[in-house]
Amino acid sequence: MIDIKLIRENRDLVKENIKKKFQDEKLPLVDEIYNLDIEYRDTKLKMDEMRAEKNRISAEIGSLMRDKKIDEANEAKAKVSEMGEEIDALTKKEEELAATIKEKMMVIPNIVADDVPVGKDDTENVEAQKFGDPVVPPYEIPYHGDILYNLDGLDKDSSGRTSGEGFYYLMGDIARLHSAMISYARDFMIDHGFTYCVPPFMIRSDVVTGVMSFAEMEAMMYKIEGEDLFLIGTSEHSMIGKFKDQMLKKENLPYTMTSYSPCFRKEGGAHGLEERGVYRVHQFEKQEMVVVCEPEQSDEWYEKMWKMTVEYFRSLDVPVRQLLCCTGDLADLKYKSCDIEAWSPRQQKYFEVGSCSNLTDAQARRLGIRVKGEKENYYAHTLNNTVVASPRGLIAVVENNYQEDGSILIPKVLQPYMGGKTKIEKINK
């Protein structure tokens, strides 16, 4: 949620930002909010003036009674009573206006950074740079689902019976490799100075609407029937929610945390679900990084964070690239965002394995995350980034380490988490 001062002082900027995001249907909201805000402030001013006058008259009643000016005292009492009713009506109006303004403000997108490329959707995202040389081996690489199945590492028939489409069983050494990647990611981030955390895997609705837009919530989140609880789609949700309604001490910033969680997503719409593989699924596991920092530090942290994901995947010998998300692909709360994509030697193209986002103060405003300033308090900035999400990250490691005989070489940094094993052998069925 943006600062309403932007609408008061620079409506053209807000409207231009909406146009950049190709959300022209939201343009009328800016003028609506502007006019509602004028009415809200006029109502508040009138209420404050009336309350002050009521207090002044109330203070005089005692003097009038002592001076035995009974009629004047009774008139003053009647006036105070009448003003009390008017103040109650104004208070109700103020609350209704504030609620309406907030509801409309929640739909206005965050102001995007000047260097965000303008584009309608993810097809217009822009490659920034590559890390590592993409290799296509002289032998065929099968579909990742077939690789995992041949290594006795994937069972989707059973998960179809237990849970339906979009779920899976990982088995044996493949399951162990998946866990090794998560454990290594945890230690990788701890070595970079981040505090490890395992957060709640369910959050309340006021946290959900604080960390994402309504459209995202509807498309992603699973609600627990009969309770005000949602399954998290990423641990960022509960990690940022950890600071809800908190006044943070300036000297404690930045908070740098890395969190593990299972994640649950509907994954509906055009993308659909994979029948054979595990690229797009309802359930996965993830190591995340979250930073809460000073406003002037968020750009610097953004650059540090996405580079950590690059470093992680390069340590696994997986070539990656940074893809800048265009305006139309940015979620409404994001100031800027980039995807880290891994090389697929089978498809001979890159695919998304992580995303880094700077949300400036958009989440902090929704959740009431403020910093105690020397002169006045202000909102913190929040950022999040994927270290690794598996099984998507698992696909990248499997494809880039696939051998002609069907085996998988285990990257050196993961071997200690695999009991020293260097290779996953093909199982003859």
> Are 97 and 130 part of one and the same domain?
no
Residue 178 lies in a domain: yes
Distance of CA 418 to the CA centre of its chain: 32
Q: Does residue 70 sit in the same domain as residue 18?
A: yes
| Alpha helices per DSSP H over 155-297 | 156-162, 172-191, 205-211, 214-220, 235-241
DSSP state, 221?
P
Q: Which CATH number goes with the domain that contains 209?
A: 3.30.930.10
Q: Are residues 86 and 129 in the same domain?
A: no
CATH of the domain at 51: 1.10.287.40
Whether residues 14 and 150 fall in one domain: no
Residues 52 and 199 placed together within one structural domain of the fold: no
pLDDT at 273: 58
Picking from 80, 105, 130, the residue at the C-terminal end of a domain is 105
In 137-278 the beta strands, taken as DSSP E runs, fall at 154-155, 169-170, 195-197, 202-203, 222-223, 230-231, 247-249, 255-264
Q: Is residue 394 located within the same domain as residue 346?
A: yes
User: Same domain, yes or no, for 93 and 161?
Assistant: no
pLDDT of residue 218: 80
Q: Which class for 270: exposed (0-12), middle (13-18), buried (19 or more C-beta within 10 A)?
A: exposed
Sheet holding 230-231, edge to edge: 202-203, 230-231, 222-223
256 has which bridge partners?
291
State whether 218 and 333 are in the same domain: yes
Tell me the pTM.
0.90
Per DSSP, the chain holds a count of helices (H) and strands (E) of: 13, 18
> Measured between alpha carbons, how far is 287 from 236 in angstroms, rounded to an integer?
10
Q: Which element (helix H / strand E) includes 85?
A: helix 70-105
Q: What is the pLDDT of residues 293-305, one digit of tens each?
A: 999 999 999 999 9
Low-confidence stretches of the chain (pLDDT beneath 70): 268-275, 427-429
Give the C-alpha separation, 386 to 289, whole Å.
6
Q: Which residues pair with 203 in a beta bridge?
A: 230
Q: Please indicate, yes or no, whether residues 40 and 84 belong to a single structural domain of this protein.
A: yes
* pLDDT number for residue 275: 66
Confirm whether 366 is domain-assigned.
Answer: yes
Boundary residue ending a domain (79, 105, 131): 105
Helix (H, G, I), strand (E, B) or coil at 361: coil
217-259 pLDDT tens trace = 888 899 999 999 999 999 999 999 999 999 999 999 999 999 9
Q: What is the pLDDT of residue 270?
A: 41
From its phi and psi, is residue 76 left (phi > 0), alpha (psi between -120 and 50) or beta? Answer: alpha
* Domains identified in the chain, total number: 2
Q: Given this model, what pLDDT does residue 251 score?
A: 96
Q: Which domain holds residue 209?
A: 122-424
- From residue 262, alpha-carbon distances to 125, 164, 199, 389, 413 in Å are 28, 18, 10, 9, 23
- How far apart CA 333 and CA 213 sit, in angstroms, is 7
128 in the same domain as 101: no
Beta bridge partners of 423: 409
Give the other-Cβ count within 10 Å of 349's Cβ.
10
| Residue where a domain terminates, one of 105, 133, 151 | 105
Length of the chain as a residue count: 429
